[in-house]
Amino acid sequence: MYFVEHPSPAGTLLLAATERGIGGVYFTEHRHFAGSHGWTMDGGQPLLRRLRSQLDEYFAGERSEFDLPLDLAGTAFQKRVWNQLLDVPFGGTATYGAQASAIGHPNAVRAVGSAIGRNPVSIVVPCHRVVGRDGALTGYAGGLERKRYLLALEASFCRTVQKRTGA
């Protein structure tokens, strides 16, 4: 695994990738992060360069989707949950219950929530878009302030696009 630290408006990110794809986007003080022991720092690694560029565009309000291969390490259930997160639209939210239903396990809300909390690729795999059934911001491995910030950033981008297009 190759890694690099990258500054962002939401705080310093630790970005990680293999030759096959992006394997990590972690905030400092990220809950469930096992550490970078044995990883190689390489800011020139091609996928990490692409990731840094796309994250900068995202934070500048110039990108609403990421175009990167992923190399996610987790159980089959976790990968299924994380893949479903990719369907939550930019600027929108979904509930944990809706995510559980979407993968065919409507009674597994807690297990889905646990898998979402262990998402290794924050922002790119948009776990920040999942909220409680009443719309409350609940749980985020990077901290609720960051979750609030990311949702506000996306909402602001959507409002700006609507103003420009008249939609």
CA distances 18 to 74, 105, 156, Å, are 15, 31, 33
Active site (annotated) includes residue 158: no
Q: Which residue out of 4, 116, 127, 150 is catalytically annotated?
A: 127
Name the burial class of residue 116, with classes exposed (0-12), middle (13-18) and buried (19+) by CB atoms within 10 angstroms of its CB: buried
Nearest by Cα to 150 from 85, 99, 68, 92: 92
Q: What are phi and psi of 47, to 5 degrees?
A: -70, -35
- Structural element, H or E, at residue 4: strand 2-6
Q: What are phi and psi of 38, to 5 degrees?
A: 85, -5
Q: Tokens 């044995």 identify what position? A: 38
Residues belonging to the active site: 127
